[in-house]
Chains A and B, each alone.
Chain A
């Protein structure tokens, strides 16, 4: 017969004694965490995509057809020395065509009919924050080694400005979803306390301290939440896998990238679930137990 009686062991015993409650708790928490997980995954993927978009070149210089690679490198070196320029990349014609092919994805056979490579070689500039794109573009227009100057698309600049607002809104929605999970855990713990009222009366009678009674409930809530997070991760992964057919999107993105599920997201979800379990457990058990009322 077992003699040890740590809080974790008691939590585990409580859980085994109540399979019905575990089923209810795991099902509801899995659904709630799947919603949070799907949101979190989309949010992180969109953040990454937005970051990728914002890391794109601030200025693109199309070179004349006759420009050699050496001329392109010389221009890149000259522009790289400017204080407004953070990074310079030379993209030759072959690289440009390959990039377009990747962006077209499943529709890349559109390029099959091309006889030559219509794309020019380019020098792409990424500017430092605060640099004035238009002033730099004006100074480069008319130079013989530059055929055309292309600045970032205005809607993309708008998107980048909106990014901060969207991040704040996204975080607020995430916090709301997290609070919903905490409330769900709180109510599950209250239900558990209600169902185990008889046991709690006995514990109170034999002199169990508040901590002795409370900790197994908190640990039980944490274990349930982490188990539900694992189930929710598989659910979201399966769902996103089902929906994520390759489909090209603007900015060189693909729907499959946005709906991709990273296991790092799963770990973050498990961490959030454990935190929600601890918070909801402490809140639920704290409000539900009033020692003097039990006996």
Chain B
């Protein structure tokens, strides 16, 4: 599913590389924690995986596609196969919960009767169907993150990336969000969760833990 070979990422004006010599192979269906202190390169690594960044050197492959060779016009197609959840939710605050989740289907050309039924199914799964018409900005942080998870999963992507998904949440909300991510994994999705919270690591039995430090892969267990 994911292959990184000798990947480096350097930003102009910064002496230390964000990533250096990273090799990583993640087979389909695996649950991977990406851990390490702040600034270790976790977010950069995730951004490489949904083509928000291009590597400075090395090879990044997702689902067989070499992202370094991807044309600009092919990036949207890749992103429809990758669900992404962020610490700051990245929702359209003024739009309803329904619209936020429906957006992921609309851009993929899903319309007609299929769209509302899939959004309803997803919102029921995350327990937010009753708030479908509520503007996303009116929800609590935990609820907003559940909307973000619903949006990431409604397109049934084979890969789910989560960058500090519980960073802004209280423990109960964090557990609920992790439950949803685990559920997606249970349905067959490959999952990469970047976190520096050791409490999260114990939530998933048998998960692979990849540790980054100063841009280098330090430990893979």
Which residues of A line the B interface, CB within 8 A?
1, 3-5, 17, 198-199, 201-210, 212, 291-292, 295
Contacts and interface: CB of A to CB of B under 8 A. Distances in A.
Contacts of B104: 206-207
8 contacts: A3-B111, A201-B90, A202-B92, A202-B103, A205-B79, A207-B104, A209-B73, A291-B75
Contacts of B16: none
A295 B80 CA distance: 14
A5 B106 contact: yes
Contacts, number: 67
B167 to A, nearest CB: 17
Given A1-B116, A4-B111, A292-B54, A208 B90 contact: no
B221 interface: no
B94 interface: yes
Contact of A207 (B79, B112, B132): B79
B107 interface: yes
User: Which of the four size classes fits the interface of chain B?
Assistant: 35 or more
Contacts of B73: 209-210
B76 A292 contact: no
Nearest to A3: B115
B92 A207 contact: no
B76 A5 contact: no
Interface string B177-189: 0000000000000
A268 B100 CA distance: 41
A205 B90 contact: yes
A209 B50 CA distance: 14
**5 nearest CB pairs, A to B:** A207-B79, A295-B52, A207-B80, A208-B107, A207-B76
A207 B77 CA distance: 6
Given A3-B115, A207-B108, A212-B107, A199 B92 contact: yes
A1 B107 CA distance: 17
Nearest to A5: B106
A207 B91 contact: no
Contacts of B54: 292
